[in-house]
Each structure stands twice: as structure tokens, then as C-alpha cells.
Amino acid sequence: MNQTGPGQAAGQGEPADVGSLPGGARAALEAVLMVIDQPATAAELAAGLNLTVDVVEGLLADLQQEYNGYTGKAPDVDSASSQGVTATPRGFELRNIAGGWRIYSRAEFADIVAGFVLEGQTARLTQAALETLAVIAYRQPVSRARVSAIRGVNVDSVVRTLTQRGLIEDSGTDPESGAILYRTTSYFLERMGIGSVAELPQLSPHLPGLEGIEEFYDAGRM
Amino acid sequence: MNQTGPGQAAGQGEPADVGSLPGGARAALEAVLMVIDQPATAAELAAGLNLTVDVVEGLLADLQQEYNGYTGKAPDVDSASSQGVTATPRGFELRNIAGGWRIYSRAEFADIVAGFVLEGQTARLTQAALETLAVIAYRQPVSRARVSAIRGVNVDSVVRTLTQRGLIEDSGTDPESGAILYRTTSYFLERMGIGSVAELPQLSPHLPGLEGIEEFYDAGRM
Amino acid sequence: MALSTVTDEFIKYIKGLQQLGEEWALDEASEFLVIAATLLDLKAARLLPAGAVEDEEDIALLEARDLLFARLLQYKAFKQVAGMMGDTLDLEAGRYPRQVALEGHFAALLPELLWRHTPEQFARLAESALKPKEAAPTEVGLAHLHGTPVSVKEQAEILGGRLRAGTPLTFRALTADAESTLVVVARFLALLELFRDKAVAFEQLLPLGDLTVRWTAGAEGWSSDHLSEEYEEQP
């Protein structure tokens, strides 16, 4: 999907040359970021802007820094001369989460923004839900029975709630037991502000080889 | 960070002092404008930011000019000295439409944005969207949380798609929970070829109504 | 597993905590010592010739203890990361994504919707979407391996019926017709309940000898309604 210009999709002949518009490619990228309602990858953005992924990644990094106040330069000022000038951050930030880029209001203004954004306010998870989510996040794909075994309690209703909240999802069935396996969703990554589950913090270092425990488990399963 | 932790989020007693936050009132205003879906009036913004309407109107005019490229100054530079310096415009603009302010993608980039929006769009609803629409049609007015509970998955993005497609709309808020309620539109009736929702075929009486659903599903909610 | 690896990692971890001024470092350290001692104990027991260990049972006990500790540790680790995840989720909840409705002129460009559903098809779709979902199976069902569930209450009623006549009966006689061990167990539990309610008395002349059960509650003095609720809940 890389080479097809966005203009064509819209039913116009020529793909627009983003460089010729005021503000150039950087402003065009900003314009697109204004209308996306879910994170977009650099590749998707590049395809839409008819630019290479490398160029788009460079622009995204620039914008991110600029919004964070690392450079106070106006977009057309020579970048070498003013790079590193520190200004105050903007009220929003550009973040790369779950593989996609998106604009967020800055966390410092949470109290103020919350007053304007009623929807999307999510109730906090209970301790039981958090622990179940943690086990699933670190052991995915995993069956409810396995999560129950680790937590020592029945987790059925908690798993249902986590699914409804969009934090976990069905990822097929275990070929042996036929049990449904669960994994975390990209919405979970988004809520955690990370790019992939590999970025989750390490489990306590003093936990003796978890692999060994898994074997114990299977032996001791009911 | 600042004194009031962002984790405390909505509903806290003390109005934050926007001046003490990095970027000050201007950045706080930007944060709000970046995430609101419906245009907000200067009075609404002033109330939420705990500022006077005059101050907010001044800031709005400043931001509008800055986004349009009339001043390339960094937000913390003294405004008098650099007023009028012309830089390139940003990819977004702040517009006042019928008294309400909202950030939009800049009109110059409409072709590029349109191409991006249309990329990958299909003329068909997904199964998930169809099922969600069916639940809303038969149980309207209904909140997203309730539809999520019935379908067992998070329906946020599907509801957005259905709204965008003009098949459902906001019909006020639930007096108890404050959640937005959704109902089908007249465009939906048109597509179905019926005159009113009363003409939808009867469902089996054994299916749980909303009350039944509440009992059935809420037991597992947290 | 190599104990030294675990120990080294752990000491590093504890040092890190102490530098941060974490008070619970001591707790963690002592807990670790207990576990390390258990593991060492077990290792030593395996290495030494048979004389050092009393018998196989000791090893089994050690292994059971080890397993228990391992489970506790794992659970504790998950509890800990759950706390960290909760904090992260709270912090991130303060960042609101821009997800605004598509501007009207862009929405108008979307291709016209293809709609092929008749109201009847749509209704069927709604029916299937609204039908309460059966809880998905967590495991392959084992129900077919067991007989029908046995109710302690039911068995108590059967026993009551036989004993009310007044003739004492032995446990052996009372369970002679039991079609499965489960029924025997249920009848035994039922007898304990009856004993608690002072509806029966036991006599056993010799250790491991026949247990004789005698009805003491009178003809109408007891009903199974007294039976404790705990037996009615399925695990």
C-alpha cells in the first residue's frame, strides 16, 4: 500500500505533493494526526502522505520533541541552529504506543481535561482484576484454569470483566485441553502506555526459575 | 511533576492552579482543546480552567494566531516582542464555529487527510459492527457499557464507527450513571426500509430485556 | 537450578532496595533465607546417601513444602507487578487520547454503505447477539467421568428413613447398597451431620470394628432441612 497516493483513493488524479503546501510535510503529518481516532503506524502515515517511512519517522520524532519543548524553533527555522533550545512543553504530546502514533493531552493537565472528557473515564480495576490481568499479561496465552491455579481463586467473572473492558481477548484454544486461551489486547498496551508486552517490568529477580514452577504446576494440577 | 498527581484525575475537590503547571494556562487550554470532541465555548473553557472569560478569549486568539503561523515564538517568549513574526502554519487550526472552539485539521491539507481517511475504508459493516447495531436497535436507548456487557467485548471503536456512519446517535445521558445513551437514527430506518423501530420484527420473548441482562451480566461486573 | 545464581541476583536486588531506603528489604531477605534454606535442605537430602534421609516420605514432604513456597513466591511476584501495573494504569489514565469524530466534510466522503440485510435477517442477528452467552469451558468437561452428583442431604434422608424404625444398623449395612464410593462418602458425611444434630448415636466395640448407628431423635424429631448449607453448594 506504500506507493498508492492518498489523492488517488479520494478519487483525484495526482497524489498531492506535501512539500508544496504551507508548512510542508511536517504540517501535513500534523493534519493527519488530527483526524485519526486510533494509533497509526509510521508505515500507515507514510502511505497516506506519500512519503517514505524513514522520512515520516524523522518527522514524528521531531514533532514529539517539539511538543515536549525540547526545541522552541518555528518549523521553518534552520534545524541545526536552534536544535536543543528548551521551551515550555505544549499542552499535548505525541506518543508511540502499541506500535502506533497518536496525540494525547499531557498528563499534567489530567485534572483539568477530565472535567471536559466525560466519556472514556474508566473505573479503576479492583485488586482481583489487576492481579488476574498481571498473570495473563506475563503468561499469555493462558487458560483461565491456569490463571486460577496461580491466583488460587476462581477467576471466571474477572476474566469476563477484563474482556468487556477490552483489556484481554480470546486467542484461540489450547490444542490439548480445548480450554480458551487469553492474551492482552493492543488497547491494554495503550492503557499501559507501552509498545509491546516485552516492555512490561521484569518479575521479581528472586523468583526462582519460573519454568521449573510450570512443571511443578502441571504435576500438581487438579 | 506538579503537586496534584495526575492519577487522582477527575472529580477532585481543589481546582488546579493552571498557572503553576508547565506551560501554564496556555498549555492547559491546548490540552483541553486537543481532546474535546464537541466545540466548547469560551465560557465553558473558562469555567473548567478556573480563569476569567476574558483571559481565555485572549489565549484562544493567541493560540489561533500561533497555529496559523502569525507568530513563531515559543510559548514562553514575551508576547509583545515577537508578535507578528511570521512562521509557517501548523497542520491544525483552531476554529470558532457558532460560538464553540475546536481544533481541526487545516483546510489546506484536506486532500491528503481525505486520502488517509478513505484508505482501507470499506462500504460494508463488519460482523462486530452489525451485531452491535442490532443490540442498540433492539435495546435503545442504551449505553456503551451495557452493549459491552451484552456482547462480552469492548465496543468503543465499533460504536464510533456506527456513529460516524450515521446509523446511531447520542440520545442524552443516563440520569443515574451519566453514561451517554445511544439510539438508532432515521438514516438507519431508511437503510432498513422501515418507518419506525416499532416495525422491526419481534424477537423471541425469552431473550433477556435490559433488566434481565443487568441481572445476568452485572453479577460478574466489578 | 543453580542456587548461587539466584542468590547473587537476590543480593543485588536487596542492595538496590536498601539504597532506595526501602524498609521491607529485611522482610524480603528473611523470606528469601527461609526459601533458600528449604531448597538447600532438599538439595542436600538428594545428594547424600540414603542414610541421611529418614525415608521417601521426608523427601515427599520437602518437595511439597518447596512447591508451596514456589507457589507463594510466584503469587507474591504477580501481586507485586499487579501493583505496579495499577499505578501505571492510573498514571496513563491522566493522558487523554485525541479521538474526535471525523470532521463532517471527511465523513461525507466515506463510501456509501452496502446494506443487504432485510429486517428479518437483522432480527435474527439481534437474537443471536442478545442470547445470553454460555460460559466458555475452561477445561474439557469431566462430567462424563463421574456419576450424577450425590447430595449429602438426599443420603441423610435415606439414612433417616432406615434408622427411624428404631433398629440399630451397622455402617456396613447402611452402605451395602451404595453404587459408588461417592455415595459411601456422602452417607458418612450425612451420618456426621446427623450425629451433630443429636439424631443418631454411634457405638464401636473394637477399634476398626463395625460401627453401629442408633436413631435417638424419635420418630419425628429430625428433618433434613437442618442440614448445613455447605453441602448444597457445588465447589
pLDDT tens track of chain B, all 222 residues? 333 333 334 444 445 576 777 778 999 999 999 999 888 999 999 999 999 999 999 999 999 999 998 754 444 444 444 444 557 889 999 999 888 999 999 999 998 898 888 876 677 888 899 999 999 999 999 999 889 888 888 888 899 889 888 899 999 888 887 888 999 999 999 988 889 999 899 887 767 665 545 444 443 333
C-chain residues within 8 Å CB-CB of A90? none
| String of DSSP letters for chain A | --SS-HHHHTT-SSPP-GGGSTTHHHHHHHHHHHH-SS-B-HHHHHHHHT--HHHHHHHHHHHHHHHTTS----TTS-HHHHTT------SEEEEEETTEEEEEE-GGGHHHHHTT--TT--PPPPHHHHHHHHHHHHH-SEEHHHHHHHHTS--HHHHHHHHHTTSEEEEEE-TTT-PEEEEE-HHHHHHHT-SSGGGSPPP-TTS--HHHHHHHHHHH--
Grid coordinates of A133: 490481568
Residue A222 grid coordinates? 487438579
Distance of alpha carbon C228 from alpha carbon B176, whole angstroms: 40
Provide CB contacts within 8 A for A212, sequence distance 6+: C1, C70
Q: Which of C87, C99, C132 sits opposite B208 (nearest CB)?
A: C132
Q: Is the pLDDT of residue A5 over 60?
A: no
Tell me which chain A residues have a C-beta less than 8 angstroms from the C-beta of B112.
Answer: 6-7, 16, 18, 28, 31-32, 48-49
Element (H, E) at B105: strand B100-105
Judging contacts by C-beta atoms under 8 Å, the chain A residues touching residue B40 are 116
Q: Which of helix, strand or coil describes residue C2?
A: coil
**What amino acid occupies position B69?**
G
CA count, 13 A, side-chain hemisphere, A77: 19
The one-letter amino acid code at C234 reads Q
* Any C CB within 8 A of A179 CB: yes
B166 Rama class: left (phi>0) / alpha (psi -120 to 50) / beta: left
Residue C232 confidence class, pLDDT cut points 50, 70, 90:
very low
Q: Report which of C92, C22, B184, B130 is spatially closest to residue A95, judged by C-alpha positions.
A: C92
Question: Residues A129, B208, B151, CA angle at the centre, nearest 5°?
Answer: 45
Whether A208 sits inside 8 A of C137 (CB atoms) is no
Q: Which amino acid is at C32?
A: F
- Cβ neighbours for A114, distance < 8 A, ≥ 6 positions apart: A121, B9, B10, B11, C94, C96
Q: Judge: A116–B48 Cβ closer than 8 Å, yes or no.
A: yes
**C120 burial via Cβ count (<10 Å: 0-12, 13-18, 19+):** exposed
Q: Which residues from chain A sit within 8 angstroms of residue B215, using beta carbons?
A: none
- The answer to whether A107 touches C95, Cβ cutoff 8 Å, is yes
A37 vs C contacts (CB less than 8 Å): 99-102
pLDDT tens for C69-119 read 777 778 888 888 898 899 989 888 888 888 887 787 887 787 888 888 888
* Total beta-carbon pairs less than 8 A apart between chain B and chain C: 111
Output the average pLDDT for chain A: 79
Q: How many beta-carbon pairs below 8 A join chains A and B?
A: 239
- Other Cβ atoms less than 10 A from the Cβ of C8: the count is 12
pLDDT tens digits, C32-72: 666 666 666 656 655 555 545 556 666 676 676 677 777 77
Residues forming a β-bridge with A40: A101
**3-class SS at C215?**
strand
pLDDT digits (tens, 9 = 90+) for B59-76: 999 999 999 987 544 444
Chain mean position to CA B30 = 15
Residues composing chain B: 222
**pLDDT tens readout for residues A114-166:** 888 765 556 788 999 999 999 999 999 999 999 988 888 889 999 998 998 88
Q: Under an 8 A CB cutoff, do B164 and C107 touch?
A: yes
Strands C169-170 and B142-143: unpaired
Q: Do A88 and B12 touch (CB under 8 A)?
A: no
